[in-house]
Structure 1
Amino acid sequence: MRDHLTVLLDVRTIYAEPAALELERGRQIVARWPEAEVIEVASANRIDAVHNTEENVQRWVRTKTEVLALGVRKTLTARVNGRSADWIAASASNGCAMACAYCYVPRHKGYANPITVYANVEQMIGYLQRHVARQGPKTEPNQCDPQAWVYDLGENSDASVDALVSDNVADLVAAFRDLPTAKASFATKFVNRDLLAYEPQGRTRVRFSVMPERTAKLLDIRTSSVTERVAAVDDFLAAGYEVHLNLSPVVVHEDWLADWDELLTHLNDVLSPAAKAQAAAEIIFLTHNQGLHEVNLGWHPQAENLLWRPDIQEFKVSQNGMRNVRYRAAWKAVWKQRLLDLIAKRTPWLSVRYAF
């Protein structure tokens, strides 16, 4: 784990809520970086020196490397989803040390997006255990899972990276081992082989996000390579995880379909029969955001050559009032069908849970 830490995290400042410092998990996190300066703040989610300072755009990656926020999760919920999971659990963290140029989480953070980790994991686990108990057995199969209630643990973070910061992820995986009617799930772009020792016993689903390598080299900053993610599928399966794939985001450009043809062919060539037999996929076409576009221009403008395409995109105002851009509906429908046809041809074993 120490090698991973030196690559992604060199924490020098920890902004911490006093309540988090009183918890054992909070003290454990601070102890991992004994030389870091600890600054107490009222809220780990709204730190003026981090989130509200425009100059931090120039330090986008450096802030992710050197800053950590430590808080207490106040609101414990499980929100209905119905796509990849039945429920979206309250995340044990928010933000990420990686720097994918299209990530939607920074849209709510301002000018920086380091990891915020929550120290009250025991309280979160207790809530999830009670929520699972209230559901009872799953009596009808759905696209999320035929038998188990699926809980997404990492909607606003990457659990594989979170596991470098604390034992929250290990504790959550262990908790779901004892929940026979439920299953944990998280998507990741980082291969953290420490997770292979967690003994999930089939109760945690890892969804490796993949895209053509050429696109990933420009957009997936500080992540594991797509080749490494694909190579990890069988290892995680052997360690007791269910392993699915996220084909996400699908970024359209002049050669996009040929690039996906190459990736799908690679998947078909290298994955084992056992991996193919249990695999399922989600397809998510790119949605971008005007505010994030402007932030990206300050630290990674090359990415916007692919992400910001007014010639093939249209604006949509989201429910929270943000101006998002997505591919024009009529064209996207055609492109989506072309990708589905390609999947049927190159990876007929890969069932698609949903595509949008």
Structure 2
Amino acid sequence: MTSAAPTAPARPRLWTPSRVLVTRSAAALPHGRRILERLESAGVRDVELLSGDRLPNLRGDGDRAAFMAAKQTLAVVVGAPSKRRLQPIPPSADWRFDLAEGCPAHCQYCYLAGSLTGPPITRVFADLDDVLASLDGYVGRGGVTSGTVERGGEGTTFEASCYTDPLAIEHVTGGLARAITHVGTHDWSGPVQLRATTKFDDVAGLLDLPHHGRTRLRFSVNAALVARRFEGATASVPARLAALGTVARAGYPVGLTIAPIMPVEDWRAGYGELLDAVGAVLPDGADLTVECITHRFTPNSKATLTDWYPRTRLEMDEDLRVQKRGKFGAVKHVYPKPVMGELRSWFAGAIAERLPEAQLLYWT
């Protein structure tokens, strides 16, 4: 019996902005000019070079109209001076630096809804070269990975996807590739690791970079039911897993960010199938980590998300949750202790059984 020819992989899902705004200072910087060249190559026509460094009013004629317009807008700006002072980002990494803020995807649980203010445009920072040059001063000074017993082997870690999905915009910015190349080729005073996570699959431009094993590319994944319902305008989970296998074969350390974990109908079967699918795409000897993040929301994020997605079926019922307060008093609504315990116990066992070589970094 003759086997069927292999199915060609689907073309990666690419987001192309409908409108681009470029501030005067951003256009003058090398990375800003590189972004303009990429935008031209991508066929983006509506590119406005501003006469100053202030963005115009993007609020539109109504909340919904503003939201939809903002989601199709890319702004190329220079980061505020405060962004040069890196902040710790537990439990992920020692430090975070931002390639961009905002994301073109339509995840109905988006945590950026409670973190960023104003219309949700995607702001890309043109001063990336200066930011990368400043990282030397942070090596060996972190408290999340570097110097710790549990994760010291990771070295000083830098998270590049705290407020964005860098792969979603990579084809029009090139920022992730530039960061990977810098981290991979720079002469550091100690071990370092760049970390980035994504829900997209356009990894072709990253495969031949001189990463030297210093970048861990993680893929944010979920059970099929959750992904289908709540993760709009992203690559499918099978496409993300195919990309995971591809970058692992290119020598990258890789990771799973299983988030947000939800006890949806038949969740054990759904997440079990996900873990089995991961095991099927990974090459032997892949360096794999796993991060598990349960669903939570804040009063502000709930209000924003219900404005953005008024027909969402996402469960955000305070009566089904308990309050968790941060060190500054901020309230999050999380699953009750029995639910959290059941989820955590199952995932710990399932990951150990299905992905025995993986390292579970944290549960939250």
Q: TM-score, normalised by structure 2?
A: 0.83
Whole-Å Cα distance in 1 between the matches of residues 322 and 61 of structure 2? 27
Structure 1 residue 212, shift from structure 2 partner: 0.7
Structure 1 residue 41, shift from structure 2 partner: 5.9
Q: Is the 8 A contact 1:82 1:144 kept in 2?
A: no
Q: In the alignment, what sits opposite 2:120?
A: 113
Matched, 1:310 2:318: yes
Structure 1 residue 317, shift from structure 2 partner: 5.1
Q: In the alignment, what sits opposite 2:23?
A: 17
SS at match of 1:216: helix
Q: CA, structure 1 residues 170+80, in 2 after alignment: closer, same or farther (shift >3 Å)? A: same
Whole-Å Cα distance in 2 between the matches of residues 184 and 90 of structure 1? 10
Q: Letter of the 2:105 partner, please give it.
A: M
Structure 1 residue 28, shift from structure 2 partner: 3.3
Q: Is the 8 A contact 2:275 2:351 kept in 1?
A: yes
Matched-pair identity in %: 23
Number of equivalent positions: 341
**Matches of residues 148-187 of structure 1 in structure 2 within 5 Å?**
148-177=155-184, 178=186, 179=188, 181-187=191-197
Q: Which has the higher helix share?
A: 1
SS at match of 2:76: strand
Structure 1 residue 141, shift from structure 2 partner: 5.8
Whole-Å Cα distance in 2 between the matches of residues 311 and 144 of structure 1? 37
Structure 1 residue 331, shift from structure 2 partner: 2.7
Structure 1 residue 117, shift from structure 2 partner: 0.6
Structure 1 residue 111, shift from structure 2 partner: 5.3
Matched, 1:190 2:197: no
Q: In the alignment, what sits opposite 2:352?
A: 344
Whole-Å Cα distance in 2 between the matches of residues 341 and 133 of structure 1? 33
Matched, 1:333 2:344: no
Q: CA, structure 1 residues 54+252, in 2 after alignment: closer, same or farther (shift >3 Å)? A: farther
* CA deviation map 1:281-331 (0-9, x unaligned): 11110111333323333343343x233133421344555665532112343
Whole-Å Cα distance in 2 between the matches of residues 39 and 59 of structure 1? 20
Q: Letter of the 1:295 partner, please give it.
A: T
Q: In the alignment, what sits opposite 2:87?
A: 79
Structure 1 residue 56, shift from structure 2 partner: 3.7
Matched, 1:254 2:280: no
Whole-Å Cα distance in 2 between the matches of residues 343 and 264 of structure 1? 7
Whole-Å Cα distance in 2 between the matches of residues 19 and 171 of structure 1? 20
* CA deviation map 1:174-220 (0-9, x unaligned): 11112362111111111122222323121111111111122111111
SS at match of 1:206: strand
Whole-Å Cα distance in 1 between the matches of residues 227 and 149 of structure 2? 31
Structure 1 residue 77, shift from structure 2 partner: 2.2
**Matches of residues 282-297 of structure 1 in structure 2 within 5 Å?**
282-297=291-306
Q: CA, structure 1 residues 167+270, in 2 after alignment: closer, same or farther (shift >3 Å)? A: closer
SS at match of 2:113: helix
Structure 1 residue 245, shift from structure 2 partner: 1.0
Q: TM-score, normalised by structure 1?
A: 0.84
